[in-house]
Structure 1
């Protein structure tokens, strides 16, 4: 029984790393670590049940691993009758009970939680999160004096700083910093990804699954079939599976989509990485090694590393630089509610049904499904940014506010007015047809833009361009789209506008498209 501690250290559910900076300040013999499953974190949005199960199970396994390493650990379960329901409440309860003189915490990933802890009135000692490659202070220094913060420039700086994929003279391998143009191949007919790695539930996970089924059964998403890694060893096995069987093709087909193929050549490691079961430095080193050993092509290695030290670090920097005001941005003034079919998948648009259906079942969709299918539709339909941001935060296992908010509000919805991305990521159904097999068997016709059977993405795309022309037509990256719009005769433009108006009216009436 632990009844006293000189110092108390709080370990969060997304800080399950053995090299957490917090540990440097504590003594395993005299101090105590606290991990707690609390209602406030599990319910502030209606998280997918598999997301809650992943974090609770990983936390319980991590607590056991810490004890094996000699740490004194207090673990508060969700169903503990004395559970206060919040992390500030548990910190206060246990610091008082143990008569701890100091409380130590590694900086939070989410602004909301850090504010709640700072407002708790407890004397907190904060430690920098060194698991990331670019600290908040480093990013702020990089951003100082820049009117626009372009990811490409940040990414090049991170490449130089890390030395990844550089030649001895400091130039990028292959002569180009960014091979994004080589990451956009459509999937050849009949090609499928490798069989996904799966992980069986042990006794700890089964107990968690029972708890989640009982307490969170009303949340969006299926709990059945949960098979995610919940330990460092399992996460490493998932990573090795990707290195062995998928990375080589990732470069070519990372933007491809296919019916019945939720993973294709994607790693599926983002959830494990975001809660601390994997280390970003090791992942990058492994990918670079695979390239230099000739096991994968450069476009695969560069494309994957760009996602990690480019986008991932970049959006974290944006988040901490601009919060909390960033969350309130709404450049287009969108007010439309999120359609009900985002929660059910009940829509005749096959691409949306596929992306939402696999999200319901797996808590997973890869970046192009999120950006160019569900996100693209939300942008074109004028959905309120807060509504779609909350949906992404709730339904995906890897979604934490620091990574979800800039990607959704900035990249998907362009609600920051171009601060993060230089153009809106909008497209008609032709893009989805080119990058997937979704259009075959769809209730709508992708080669039509007007009429009752026309693909909704088509008219909504042109409607979006027309209603936001004043803001967007001077954007150099939108010039071709607006030239095409101006080439249309008035009758065509009016037909597209009216079809768009009809579709938006149906959404406002609560109809499924």
Structure 2
């Protein structure tokens, strides 16, 4: 820690009118109670930041995420010092609340901004209740609870569309003077479904040469957290405010022009296609949602690219945050069965906190296969995406939903284990992000709370929207087991979907499927669960034998 220690000066406490705690996902000088005013310049606002190894012991965070958070925190501390703030960086191995309680005893009440993560709020609210923390609302969000309640709060099941329309109107984003959507439609999603066809050049992803501080962080993570999954890629660590600006400029200039048409595409040729890759920087606070939405609205871009991006940030990102908050992290008002069988940390080796009771509308109870942690599954689509996540700590939202979550749901993986895997493995993952996206959207574990149907598919969609099939041992037209698993999934849960208008056609097609094929579907599903549960790669011969085998047997929970 020599370079950082040498660069950080001792905090000069003289003249400090208030001390502010900046959490690691609030790294921006222009938000919160540390914003300067004419009466309170930066030199009178002291900042407290905390580096604690306790956090890394809560789940097996990807090494790239640990490095990103730590190097951004240190760079932010130096940027705040350069701007005039007195800065304390506290190094500890205890929980945040313990460190802050001791610091409040020394400094008096500490100002703070409401924390995005529910688990942080629960930990720090007792300090707020007794006056040790003086907390302001989070100024980085674009919508408040009143807007959510007005748009969808009393209209369960909650739907993002109504919320998104209301948010667009309130902010005047892509609307006419009389409040109508520019282009005539609130969503242009139907225009954003091209598969990757090579029609335009793929963008070259920016790199960020590591400075001495980032190099120290990389060495620390690789040494201290070598037992965590993934790897650190030093040149892919945007660490400073300047790096964040360059990443956003690249996104606007190089990614956004073709983002719209190819938003739903997947390819093994390029890990991000035209996605902006800024979610990590947004969720660290380095970039602010209001700013990126305004920039996109004002940019010279096709309307479907503008609207698709704004729907993700102003629509989905804000919506899932409110859903998570309104249900206390999907623990209240969901009205589905709960599961308590999940392993800590999705089965990653080590001593981790117990998994909490978790919503599980489908009663799925298959342990997360080792294929998600790096063992080969034999399915090229899954192996390509898990390799990308293991190497980068990231992939864009279509592989997340239609490969990782889809296959997990078809297999019947315990929703908490899959959620905890996402939480550990993605650099942009926090509880308010992963729990709605995985438990509600990806696995249908909350039932119809915020999803009209389970987001599952068979082989044809994956072949149409991606190109992993070309290098797969399985033929998409004959030996691929994913469609068998899809039909087996529908058969297992058909009673639950009766009356759901969006499931009418799939269930009607299922009803036409012969009893022999349905038994074969169940055997293929059981074989996939058995083989992946043993940590082996599935083969076409496994599928052929399952289809030709005897009576179907469902896998046991132990598998």
Q: TM-score, normalised by structure 1?
A: 0.93
1:301 aligns with 2:306: yes
Aligned to 1:36: 50
Spell out the pairing of 1:114-513 with structure 2 (5 A cutoff): 114-120=121-127, 123-189=132-198, 192-290=201-299, 295-324=300-329, 325=331, 328-448=358-478, 454-513=479-538
Once the two structures are TM-superposed, the CA of residue 122 in structure 1 deviates from its matched residue by 6.0
Q: Shift of residue 141 of structure 1?
A: 4.8
What residue number does 1:55 align with? 69
Gaps of 5+ in 2: 1-9, 333-356, 539-559
Q: Please report how far the alpha carbon of residue 190 of structure 1 lies from its aligned counterpart in structure 2 after TM superposition.
A: 6.8
Distance 2:377 2:254 in 1: 34
**Residue equivalent to 1:451:** none
Find the partner of 1:106 among 83, 101, 113.
113
Q: 1:3 to 1:166 in 2, by over 3 A?
A: closer
Query: Equivalent of 1:17, from 15, 28, 31?
Result: 28
Stretches of structure 1 lacking an aligned partner (at least 5 in a row): 78-82, 449-453
Give TM-score, length-normalised by structure 2: 0.85
Secondary structure at 1:125's aligned position in 2?
strand
Q: CA deviation at 1:123?
A: 2.4
Please list the CA deviations of residues 149-202 of structure 1 after superposition, one character each: whole Å capped at 9, or x if unmatched: 100110101110111111222211110100111111111147552111111101
Displacement of 1:28 in angstroms is 4.1
- Give the distance between the partners of 1:140 and 1:108, measured in 2 at CA: 21
Cα displacement string for residues 412-437 of structure 1 (whole angstroms, at most 9, x for unaligned residues): 01111111111100000111100011
Query: Cα RMSD (Å) of the superposition?
Result: 1.9
Structure 2 distance, partners of 1:189, 1:320, is 41
The structural deviation recorded for 1:29 is 4.4
Q: Deviations over 1:29-71 (max 9, x none)?
A: 4552110111222231111111111111111111111112211
The change in CA–CA distance for 1:297 and 1:124 in structure 2 (over 3 A counts) is same
CA distance in 1, matches of 2:34, 2:499: 52
Q: Is the 8 A contact 2:31 2:139 kept in 1?
A: yes
With over 3 angstroms needed to count, the CA separation of the structure-2 counterparts of 1:51 and 1:173, relative to structure 1, is same
Deviation for aligned residue 1:8? 2.9
| Contact 1:8/1:100 (8 A) holds in 2 | yes
Question: Secondary structure of the residue that 1:32 maps to in structure 2?
Answer: strand
Equivalent residue of 1:246, what SS?
helix
CA separation of 1:235 and 1:6: change in aligned 2, threshold 3 A = closer
Deviations 1:211-251 (A, max 9, x none): 11111111110113442311222111111112112211110
How far 1:111 moved relative to its partner?
0.9
Is the contact between residue 446 and residue 458 of structure 1 (CA under 8 Å) also seen in structure 2? Answer: no
- The alpha carbon displacement at 1:3 in A equals 7.7
Residues 394-453 of structure 1: per-residue CA shift (max 9 Å, x gap): 1111111111110110000111111111110000011110001100120112112xxxxx
Cα distance in structure 1, aligned partners of 2:93 and 2:503: 52
Answer whether contact 1:192 1:264 (CA < 8 A) is retained.
no
Instruction: Provide Cα deviations, 1:327-373, integer angstroms capped at 9, x if missing partner.
Output: 72110111111000100151210011110001111111000000000
- Contact kept in structure 2, 1:129 and 1:135, CA below 8 Å: no
Q: Secondary structure at the match of 1:252?
A: coil
User: 1:6 Cα shift?
Assistant: 5.8
**1:137–1:12 Cα change, 3 Å:** farther
Work out the number of aligned pairs and report it.
Answer: 497
CA distance, structure 1, for counterparts of residue 41 and residue 21 of structure 2: 14
